[in-house]
């Protein structure tokens, strides 16, 4: 694989009177003979380690090369053939969670993936608090930088610990095997070598520290913090950030304990960071004939629309209602969060994270949760109680309320539709889980979010001279794409009403793009191309943004014709309940929402 690192086994000829080339030339020429066409730089610490290592290794060595952006650099020399032991790290530096993936650079296989909280959280869950914490204060900025690096190192340590555990388990297996196979020496030797890094009598080798290259994808603020740059610029107008193309930096200059270079994905602008560029690399949107929409919905929504001929991008506040802290009982997608909601026969059924998949808790009208009942029910383990609701739960809930007719097209409660709709603290609300209420203002807040998201897509398509139905693929990145029900998101008009198979959960495309680049150096050119082609649309400068957003502030949209399958679904659901609400035409609807 032509990745960002290489390990090459060389069998060098020993110097003779006739061939008195220097060790350095001997190695460089052997690399060239192995097909390395680029300049290879040998840093002084490698010059120092040549002797006596190479001689002791009887001139059979493995050279680790790391790409520094323009050339190869020799970053390690090991005795013997160590090409099978070649790993790299891809990191998604999220503002909440840092995910690190250990890749086998020989096979491209994912060896292991771990995550940890971003230690910046100590200065606030929202990015702005962190920015203000260290703004214009180099000492505090250094604290934040260190915490960022520590988060990555924590992931590396986790990977190492898991790796070591596995090695020890394998070693134990081998010991058993050795006893039974003592006659077959070759086999035993092979096993011993393979497990060399895990022998209890030697210092355990760290697999992450043996990595040559790391690719990090993160938003503009995260990368500023990782590199130790003040990030107030990201939010300050004019939005000129300090650094947007960090490229390859020596890992040691960043304080990251790997052997070679750390590549940070560049950002297009303050709000369109390296995580999105990495997502482009992952989805290959920029290479396709068909037009795709790439949407990353978090605190901000980042959006890219295009194909191999054009790329438009933009960002806006599209996701806040889906985060904890905006909706009154909103929380992160963590244990105890309601992440799925169904309404069946007038009852709200919720799934709580931590419980088994498909295990729903019922919320009857006025009843407490049937936890006790579940307990008795066949001796199943105690169910985890709901503590709040996360993004996917919110979307499910609103979609179901809408399909059931408990809320109208404007998202307003119709209290007559269910006894579960109550008035609390002067507002209508529904108790979706014991003691947990979803209020009218929560719905209103959410509708603003979803209409912003919808409007962003609409504007971007319009800027490209396209209609909504001309986008053939709709990629949804991040946790949102992973957990949210497509059906619900379409029902409430967050996603366009399109072929469900063309709505693609891009997963952690930031991490995926980082991993792809780690294994394929040629993508660096693609990144340059993406940055060059991308045109950033300032939504603030779009004159009719607010107008379009108001039009989108209905469920699923004031223009019902955009959502034929939703219309059908409503009719079906209502028909089932023999309580059909006739929706005659969108003109009537427009009247309704023009309140």
Residues that bind a copy of itself (CB under 8 A): 15-17, 19-26, 28, 39, 41-45, 47-48, 50-52, 69-71, 136, 227-230, 233, 237-247, 249-250, 253-254, 269-270
**Is the four-CA dihedral 327, 543, 303, 289 of positive or negative sign?**
positive
Instruction: Choose between 55 and 166: whose C-beta lies nearer to a copy of itself.
Output: 55
Instruction: Choose between 153 and 327: whose C-beta lies nearer to a copy of itself.
Output: 153
User: How many helices, marked H, and strands, marked E, lie in the chain?
Assistant: 19, 23
| Residues 6+ away with beta carbon under 8 Å from 188 | 178, 181, 182
Closest approach, Cβ 17 to a copy of itself, in A, equals 5
User: For residue 128, what are its two tokens?
Assistant: 């702005």
Of 306, 289, 319, 271, nearest in space to 481 by CA: 319
Instruction: Choose between 52 and 426: whose C-beta lies nearer to a copy of itself.
Output: 52
Instruction: Choose between 238 and 358: whose C-beta lies nearer to a copy of itself.
Output: 238
Q: What is the C-alpha to C-alpha distance for residues 43 and 48, in angstroms, rounded to an integer? A: 9
The DSSP result for 107-120, as a single string, is T--EEEEEEEE-GG
- Integer CA distances (angstroms), 429 to 286, 439, 440, 520, 554, in order: 44, 4, 6, 52, 19
> What is the rounded (10 degree) CA torsion for 569, 570, 575, 577?
110
Instruction: Choose between 247 and 346: whose C-beta lies nearer to a copy of itself.
Output: 247
Closest approach, Cβ 539 to a copy of itself, in A, equals 14
Count Cβ neighbours within 10 Å for each residue of 421-451 and write b for 16 or more, e otherwise. Answer: bbeeeeebbbbbbeebbbbbebbebbbbbbb
Q: What is the C-alpha to C-alpha distance for residues 68 and 40, in angstroms, rounded to an integer? A: 10
Instruction: Choose between 233 and 554: whose C-beta lies nearer to a copy of itself.
Output: 233
Strand, helix or coil for residue 96: coil
Closest approach, Cβ 528 to a copy of itself, in A, equals 12
User: For residue 141, what are its two tokens?
Assistant: 């900025």
Closest approach, Cβ 236 to a copy of itself, in A, equals 9
Instruction: Choose between 17 and 345: whose C-beta lies nearer to a copy of itself.
Output: 17
Instruction: Choose between 224 and 450: whose C-beta lies nearer to a copy of itself.
Output: 224
Query: What is residue 550's DSSP assignment?
Result: H
Closest approach, Cβ 227 to a copy of itself, in A, equals 5
Instruction: Choose between 195 and 247: whose C-beta lies nearer to a copy of itself.
Output: 247
| Residues 6+ away with beta carbon under 8 Å from 304 | 276, 279, 280, 285, 293, 294, 311, 312, 313, 534
Bond before 238 cis per omega within 30 degrees:
yes
Please, are residues 293 and 475 in contact by the beta-carbon 8 Å criterion? yes
Instruction: Choose between 21 and 502: whose C-beta lies nearer to a copy of itself.
Output: 21
Closest approach, Cβ 151 to a copy of itself, in A, equals 18
Closest approach, Cβ 201 to a copy of itself, in A, equals 24
Instruction: Choose between 446 and 539: whose C-beta lies nearer to a copy of itself.
Output: 539
Neighbours of 173 (CB within 10 A): 12
Note the residue count of the chain: 595
What's the 3-state SS for 52-77? HHHHHCCCEEEEEEEECCCCEEEEEE
Strand, helix or coil for residue 505: strand
Instruction: Choose between 22 and 365: whose C-beta lies nearer to a copy of itself.
Output: 22
How far is the first Cα of the chain from the last one, in angstroms, to the nearest whole number?
A: 61
Instruction: Choose between 172 and 240: whose C-beta lies nearer to a copy of itself.
Output: 240
Instruction: Choose between 236 and 344: whose C-beta lies nearer to a copy of itself.
Output: 236
Closest approach, Cβ 66 to a copy of itself, in A, equals 15
Strand, helix or coil for residue 106: coil
Q: What is the C-alpha to C-alpha distance for residues 554 and 321, in angstroms, rounded to an integer? A: 16
Please, are residues 277 and 531 in contact by the beta-carbon 8 Å criterion? yes
Closest approach, Cβ 173 to a copy of itself, in A, equals 39
Closest approach, Cβ 285 to a copy of itself, in A, equals 24
Closest approach, Cβ 141 to a copy of itself, in A, equals 9
Closest approach, Cβ 269 to a copy of itself, in A, equals 7
Burial class (CB in 10 A: 0-12, 13-18, 19+), 468: middle
Burial class (CB in 10 A: 0-12, 13-18, 19+), 594: exposed
Burial class (CB in 10 A: 0-12, 13-18, 19+), 368: exposed
Closest approach, Cβ 373 to a copy of itself, in A, equals 59
Closest approach, Cβ 24 to a copy of itself, in A, equals 4
Closest approach, Cβ 256 to a copy of itself, in A, equals 11
Instruction: Choose between 38 and 373: whose C-beta lies nearer to a copy of itself.
Output: 38
């Amino acid at each position: 694989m032509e990745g960002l690192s290489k390990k090459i086994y060389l069998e060098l000829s020993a110097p003779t009177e006739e061939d008195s080339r220097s060790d350095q030339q001997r190695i460089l020429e052997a690399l060239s003979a192995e097909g390395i066409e680029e300049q290879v730089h040998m840093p002084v610490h490698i010059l120092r380690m040549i002797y006596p290592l190479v001689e002791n290794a009887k001139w059979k060595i493995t050279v680790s090369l790391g790409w520094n952006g323009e050339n190869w650099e020799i970053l390690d020399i090991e005795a013997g053939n160590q090409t099978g032991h070649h790993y790299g790290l891809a990191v998604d530096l999220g503002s909440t969670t840092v995910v690190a993936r250990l890749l086998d650079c020989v096979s491209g296989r994912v060896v292991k993936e771990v995550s940890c909280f971003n230690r910046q959280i100590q200065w606030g869950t929202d990015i702005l608090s962190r920015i203000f914490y260290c703004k214009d204060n180099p000492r505090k900025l250094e604290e934040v930088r260190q915490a960022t690096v520590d988060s990555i190192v924590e992931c590396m340590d986790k990977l190492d610990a898991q790796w070591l555990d596995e090695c020890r388990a394998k070693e134990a297996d081998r010991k058993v095997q050795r006893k039974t196979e003592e006659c077959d020496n070759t086999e035993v030797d092979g096993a011993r070598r393979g497990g060399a890094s895990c022998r209890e009598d030697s210092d355990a080798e760290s697999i992450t520290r043996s990595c040559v290259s790391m690719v990090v994808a993160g938003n503009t603020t995260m990368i500023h913090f990782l590199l130790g740059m003040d990030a107030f610029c990201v939010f300050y107008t004019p939005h000129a950030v300090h650094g947007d193309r960090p490229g390859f930096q020596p890992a040691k200059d960043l304080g990251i304990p790997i052997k070679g270079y750390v590549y940070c994905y560049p950002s297009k602008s303050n709000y369109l960071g390296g995580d999105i560029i990495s997502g482009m690399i992952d989805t290959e949107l920029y290479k396709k004939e068909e037009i795709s929409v790439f949407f990353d919905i978090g605190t901000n929504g980042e959006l890219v629309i295009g194909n191999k001929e054009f790329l438009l991008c933009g960002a806006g506040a599209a996701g806040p209602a889906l985060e904890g802290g905006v909706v009154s009982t909103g929380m992160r997608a963590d244990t105890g969060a309601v992440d799925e909601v169904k309404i069946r026969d007038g009852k709200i059924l919720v799934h709580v994270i931590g419980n088994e998949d498909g295990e729903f808790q019922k919320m009857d009208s006025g009843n407490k949760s049937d936890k006790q009942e579940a307990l008795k029910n066949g001796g199943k383990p105690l169910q985890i109680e709901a503590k709040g609701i996360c993004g996917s739960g919110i979307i499910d809930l609103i979609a179901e309320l809408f399909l059931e007719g408990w809320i109208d097209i404007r998202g307003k409660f119709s209290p007559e539709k269910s006894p579960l709709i109550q008035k609390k603290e002067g507002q209508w609300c529904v108790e979706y889980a014991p003691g947990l209420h979803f209020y009218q203002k929560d719905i209103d807040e959410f509708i603003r979010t979803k209409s912003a998201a919808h409007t962003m897509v609409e504007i971007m398509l319009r800027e490209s001279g396209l209609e909504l139905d001309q986008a053939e693929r709709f990629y949804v990145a991040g946790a949102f794409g992973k957990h949210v029900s497509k059906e619900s998101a379409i029902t409430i008009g967050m996603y366009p009403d399109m072929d469900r198979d063309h709505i693609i959960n891009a997963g952690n495309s930031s991490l995926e793009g980082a991993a792809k680049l780690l294994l394929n150096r040629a993508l660096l050119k693609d990144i340059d191309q993406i940055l060059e082609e991308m045109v950033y649309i300032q939504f603030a400068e779009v004159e009719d943004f607010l107008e379009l957003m108001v039009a989108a502030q209905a469920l699923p949209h004031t223009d019902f014709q955009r959502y034929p399958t939703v219309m059908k679904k409503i009719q079906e659901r209502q028909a089932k309940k023999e309580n059909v609400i006739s929706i005659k035409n969108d003109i009537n609807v427009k009247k309704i929402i023009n309140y």
